[in-house]
Amino acid sequence: MKITFSFIILLSNLLFAQAPINKISDVLQSKSQFSGSNEFFRVWIFLKDKGNQIENYFTNPLTVVSEKSLRRRQKLNSEELIDFTDLPVNQNYIEQIQKTGFQLKNKSKWFNAISGFATKEQISKISSLEFVEKIDLVKGYRTKKLDFENDYVFSPTSKNTQTQNSYLLDYGNSFTQNNIINVPPVHNLGYNGQGVIICVMDAGFNNLAHRAFNTINILATWDFVNGDPNVGDEGDMGTGSHGTYVLSVLGGYAPGNLIGPAYRSTFLLAKTENTDSETPIEEDNWVAAVEWADSIGVDITSTSLGYLDYDPPFTSYTWQNMDGNTALITRAGDLAVKKGIVVVNSAGNEGSRGTPNTLMAPADGDSILAIGAVDSFGLRVSFSSYGPTVDGRIKPDFMAMGSGVVAARASNQTQYTSVSGTSFSCPLTSGAIALLLQANPNLTPIQIRNILRQTSSRSNNPDNYYGWGIINTLAALNRILEVEEDISKPDFILYQNYPNPFNPSTTIRYQLSVDSKVNLKVYDILGQEIEILVDEFQSAGSYEILFNSKNLSSGVYYYKLTSNNKSDIKKMILIK
């Protein structure tokens, strides 16, 4: 084996001629050893830096992400609302790479990389560029087609049971899937997901004209397979029936037939998978989609796709790689959580595979919520993937109904059907989380996870088949409200300024829970008072103060809020 491996590396060195081999991954070298000179490889090109002209982005963060994204990050108490990963890939570097003949597909600012197509000769030229760090294959995946539509159509129903009659909404045949996660009583309290942005990443959405979507609020769409805003089937690669089912389960609204948990949320629709062939879906589509959603200001991503292996000659991830750190899409999902996004993913439909774990990326992520499937009786469905991850963590995280779920029919604008798979337990969970975020928008992804762990059906005895159990939306909501009550709101909350760093001005926000005398001052790094921004009695409420740096020099400054003899201080950075 050692002799064979050495021979492959030697042959690869010869094939790449004078290319700096240490920049080209072993996988790419091995894959290209017997390929033709005109064969194209889909590759990642990772760059060393983002150039020298980056200060302006820190000064003006709204040039890279939306104000909604900044506000979402602010609840994590980060002193810097954007960092190096948020800055765009250097355009000059991209243009130099394209001069070699490289065909650009996607950009990733989070990983400081671009993806696209190149021959061996072009890869050799690209590797010689000083600013190139590494060149690797874009990994691909295929899904096991266990998600399916049953061959019958539901007829419209009305409230016909004593249980349903106790709720304000008429769920029709979709009552069970909502009731098993205790959503109807939360709807009764007035929570419907309004104000929460959810990105659904799927294989397209071919029937947005369905009656269940008549009132849906779609903010933006993008097809990352074909590079256009059309996420349907009109002349594009891939069919979108799966996305139609998923979106309707999450946010559809057709009383008497189907109501999704988050029927008043705002949606971003991202088409990331091409279903036209058995060739694997590339990870760069998923990464590009989650970065796009982040820049707009998404609160939750819901992905009913799971990726693992595919047929030779493509290189596969295996169950041994489900460790939370190997698959690039898993790392991208965890990074999204660090930016304040709740990332929800199907655990997978691989329960019968028999390997030590049957998870599919990115469900193996440490901070990603992997959702398994139960039936209408609350019992795990045999196809639902199980853990643990290779590093020993419990997976899945939670369960929801994923067998016989009511969805909008993809081939008809007025009919409803039954679908099965963890693809549908995932959007039910995402919708429930939207209700919780509506109740308290300041909750971080980890706080959401912890609350669900404390209130789900197996909170005291989690395992690798059910995780922490079936989620209980009402119990989670009550826990949120109890905690808020127990804390007995502090006199005030001082938020991180935005933008930060800034030039020449920044906004300082704070919230008062009681009427009080308020003092807000700015200090330099030596503790010398620079300016008094507020010195007056104010009523309870939210306030925004614009601070203009005027003639101040670049550096670190502090702002201090005092109310009822209590104070809080935060740091801000001025860059000119």
Using only C-alpha atoms, the chain has a radius of gyration, in whole angstroms, of 26
For 93, left (φ over 0), alpha (ψ -120 to 50), or beta?
alpha
Task: Answer for the pair 566, 491: CB distance below 8 angstroms, yes or no.
Answer: yes
* Segments of the chain assigned to CATH 3.40.50.200: 174-486
Task: Give me the helix-helix angle, 422-439 and 473-487, nearest 10°.
Answer: 20
What pLDDT score was predicted for residue 307? Answer: 64
Q: Rounded distance, CA 383 to CA 358, Å? A: 10
Any idea which of 8-12, 305-309, 316-320 has the lowest mean pLDDT?
Answer: 8-12
What pLDDT score was predicted for residue 353? Answer: 86
Q: Rounded distance, CA 287 to CA 225, Å? A: 12
Helical ranges in 280-412 per DSSP H:
283-296, 328-338
Check whether the bond before 441 is cis (ω within 30° of 0): no
Token pair listed for 207: 């029937």
pLDDT tens digit sequence for 32-58: 776 777 888 889 999 999 988 888 888
Q: Rounded distance, CA 155 to CA 256, Å? A: 10
Q: Rounded distance, CA 296 to CA 280, Å? A: 28
Q: How far is CA 510 from CA 190, 297, 539, 563, in A?
A: 27, 21, 12, 11
Task: Give me the helix-helix angle, 241-251 and 422-439, nearest 10°.
Answer: 40
Dihedral sign for Cα 59, 64, 69, 74, please. negative
Counting DSSP H helices and E strands in the chain, the numbers are: 14, 25
Q: Average pLDDT, stretch 67-86? A: 85
Bridge partners of 19, per DSSP, are none
What pLDDT score was predicted for residue 161? Answer: 60
Q: Rounded distance, CA 373 to CA 467, Å? A: 11
pLDDT tens digit sequence for 435-456: 999 999 999 999 999 999 999 9
Coil, strand or helix: which one is 242? helix
Q: With 90 as the cut, is the pLDDT of residue 108 above it?
A: yes
Q: With 50 as the cut, is the pLDDT of residue 8 above it?
A: no
pLDDT tens digit sequence for 476-521: 999 998 866 555 567 788 998 888 888 899 999 999 988 899 999 9
* Segments of the chain assigned to CATH 2.60.40.1930: 54-86+489-576
Task: Answer for the pair 473, 186: CB distance below 8 angstroms, yes or no.
Answer: yes
Q: Tell me if the domain spanning 54-86+489-576 has CATH number 3.90.1530.30.
A: no
Q: Average pLDDT, stretch 82-98? A: 95
DSSP 397-462: -EEEE-SSEEEE-TT-SS-EEEEESHHHHHHHHHHHHHHHHHH-TT--HHHHHHHHHHHSTTTTS-
Q: Rounded distance, CA 428 to CA 417, Å? A: 16
Distance between the two ends of the chain, CA-based, in angstroms?
A: 59
Please identify which residue in the block is written with the tokens 């990115």: 362
Task: Answer for the pair 16, 122: CB distance below 8 angstroms, yes or no.
Answer: no
Cα 411 from chain centre: 28
- Furthest C-alpha separation in the chain: 80
CATH code of domain 2-50+88-138:
3.30.70.80
pLDDT band at 10 (very low <50, low <70, confident <90, very high): very low
Q: Which class for 330: exposed (0-12), middle (13-18), buried (19 or more C-beta within 10 A)?
A: buried
Token pair listed for 462: 């989690």
Q: With 90 as the cut, is the pLDDT of residue 379 above it?
A: yes
What pLDDT score was predicted for residue 141? Answer: 52
| Percent share of the chain, pLDDT over 70 | 86
Rounded mean pLDDT of the chain? 87
| Residue 228 identity | D
Q: How far is CA 104 from CA 96, 97, 114, 293, in A?
A: 12, 9, 7, 21
What pLDDT score was predicted for residue 178? Answer: 97
Q: Rounded distance, CA 533 to CA 549, Å? A: 12
Please identify which residue in the block is written with the tokens 């070699």: 100
Task: Answer for the pair 53, 92: CB distance below 8 angstroms, yes or no.
Answer: no
Q: Average pLDDT, stretch 519-532? A: 90
What pLDDT score was predicted for residue 567? Answer: 86
What would be the CATH architecture of the domain defined by 174-486?
3-Layer(aba) Sandwich (3.40)
DSSP one-letter code for 86 = G
